[in-house]
Amino acid sequence: MATRTRTLTTSDSSAKAEELAQAAFELFCSRGIDRVNLDEIAAAAGVTKGSLYWHYASKKAVVLAACDVYYARWREQITAATGGAESAYGKLEVAIAYSVRSCLLDEANRVFSTEIVALSLYDTEVRASWAGFLDETERFFLGLTHQAVGRGELVCDDVDRAVDLMLAAMEGIKQTALFRPQICGPQSEQRTERRLLSLLGDRP
Amino acid sequence: MATRTRTLTTSDSSAKAEELAQAAFELFCSRGIDRVNLDEIAAAAGVTKGSLYWHYASKKAVVLAACDVYYARWREQITAATGGAESAYGKLEVAIAYSVRSCLLDEANRVFSTEIVALSLYDTEVRASWAGFLDETERFFLGLTHQAVGRGELVCDDVDRAVDLMLAAMEGIKQTALFRPQICGPQSEQRTERRLLSLLGDRP
DNA sequence: AGGCAGCCATACCAGCCGGTATGGTTGGCG
DNA sequence: CGCCAACCATACCGGCTGGTATGGCTGCCT
């Protein structure tokens, strides 16, 4: 799409740019950002580095674009997961279940987010991008939890604090999962889900 | 190669090796592992790369040695911090206070641990080393918490689970602190301490 | 004395990779 | 048609850095 009005607008005019971002994201997920060079990314998208540099000004720009791919996929999957549930509490359950699963089992997700966090130590743009995503996820869980509490499906006296804590625990679990493969089993997964859920409050 | 000999036992053989490890640790903390080259490390220890390679076989060996420096400093500081308190609960308080402070305020600590975690994604030796350290910290908090519960200073029905959760939250807080500088203020620090402490149980 | 091992410096290499220079092809448009 | 802009390929550069080859110096041991 957008093949004709290829004027001087931004890079969304070209589907190739998106294809390059997708390819970069996949490669970054499997092998880490600085273990993937631009030749590989370009090749994975069916072009060469010369073309890549027509769409992106630097490797960092490619990384930022890969981040956007990550965010878009998260939105897509989280809405798909929560779409089935009716109650706000039910949505919370499946949202946490999805998050735990992606934390504990989806190694690609772990690789990418770990690399981005490490990059954020030195690059303010990457850090700002990731911070925006963290805000988005917090707003998401905050909204659901407030809904559940407002509808009487959950009892929690300090929602903001509870969500903060739950998200921090989730990040911590994701990180330690790298070093404790044993906690990635299916029964451990369910237990983790229940623990995180209970951090948000109690059922009435 | 002949790295043996040395009349006075094993690794104590050369103080220069330790000095190199210390220098490497400081540099890694300030600028990240792969933004520091071996020439700089050697120079910081007053030698050149040629000598560095007499003490260490590769850059990875230097990284591992820097990890050991990190562990040693943690032990030293945590024992110093908990030395003043008599009750087990008091020790828990100061241990958590120290951990929170180092998570939220000590940026060098954050840089180093973040880098090591990222490296652990690909290097099994580094991962094993860090996993050992995580085990050590867990054992430390587990021991204190069990003590506090056994002495009636704390009420907690599932210590293992509580410590797990507290440590996960602490890791998560450390990570998100990078993206939310506002949570690093002193009053926020105390609140964080209290929240983490309350995760371990209630006072009788 | 003299040999040897520990310790260190100098000089050098080679591969990797981000980035660039340049030129070719296509298609829309005046 | 002819021109230009979008898009892409080829070839190349140059800096950085982990790692090595080699030899010098020191002091202990026999």
pLDDT given at position A23 = 98
Protein-to-nucleotide distance from the CA of B7 to the C1' of D30, whole angstroms: 17
Q: What is the share, in percent, of chain A residues with pLDDT greater than 70?
A: 94
Between chains, do B122 and A32 touch, taking CB under 8 Å as contact?
A: yes
For the cut 50, the answer to whether the pLDDT of residue B5 exceeds it is no
Over residues A189-203, the mean pLDDT reads: 93
| pLDDT mean over A153-166 | 96
- 3-class DSSP state for residue B4? coil
B40 vs B189, which has greater pLDDT?
A: B40
Q: What average pLDDT score do residues B79-102 get? A: 95
pLDDT at position A48 is 96
User: What is the C-alpha separation between B104 and B98, in angstroms, rounded?
Assistant: 10
Residue A5 has pLDDT above 50, yes or no: no
Nearest by CB to B165, from A114, A175, A195: name it.
Answer: A195
Q: What is the DSSP letter of B158?
A: -
> What is the per-residue pLDDT for A13?
63
The whole-number pLDDT of residue A103 equals: 86
Looking at the predicted structure, is the pLDDT value of residue B180 above 50?
yes
According to DSSP, residue A87 is labeled S
Average pLDDT in chain B: 92
CA-nearest of B204, B201, B186, B70 to B146 is: B201
Taking the C-alpha atoms of residue A202 and residue B194, their distance in angstroms, rounded to an integer, is 21
pTM over 0.75, yes/no? yes
CB contact under 8 A, B195 and A161: yes
Whole-number Å distance, CA A35 to C1' C15? 15
Determine which of A12-21, A71-80, B108-117 has the lowest per-residue pLDDT on average: A12-21
Nearest CA among A11, A13, A106, A83 for reference residue A53? A11
B38 by Cβ neighbours in 10 Å (0-12 / 13-18 / 19+) ranks as middle
CA B76/CA B78 separation, integer angstroms: 6
Q: Write down the pLDDT at residue B7.
A: 32
Identify the pLDDT of residue A126.
Answer: 98
Token couple for B21: 């490890």
Average pLDDT estimate for A20-49: 97
Kindly indicate the confidence band of residue B10, based on its pLDDT and cuts at 50, 70 and 90.
Answer: very low
Residue A1 confidence (pLDDT) above 80: no
Give the pLDDT score at B92: 97
Q: What is the pLDDT of residue A3?
A: 29
Other CB atoms within 10 A of residue A111 CB: 20
Work out the average pLDDT over B29-53: 97
Tell me what the mean pLDDT of segment B150-168 comes to.
96
Buried b (16+ CB within 10 A) or exposed e, B121-142: bebeebbebbbebbeebbebbb
Decide if pLDDT at A111 tops 60.
Answer: yes
Q: Which of A15, A17, A8 is nearest to A52 (CA)?
A: A17
Q: Which residues of B touch A173 (CB under 8 A)?
A: 168, 172
The CA–C1' separation of B68 and C4, in angstroms, is: 33
**What per-residue confidence (pLDDT) applies to B13?**
64
* Cβ contact A179–B130 (<8 Å): yes
Residue nearest to nucleotide C19 (CA to C1'): A58
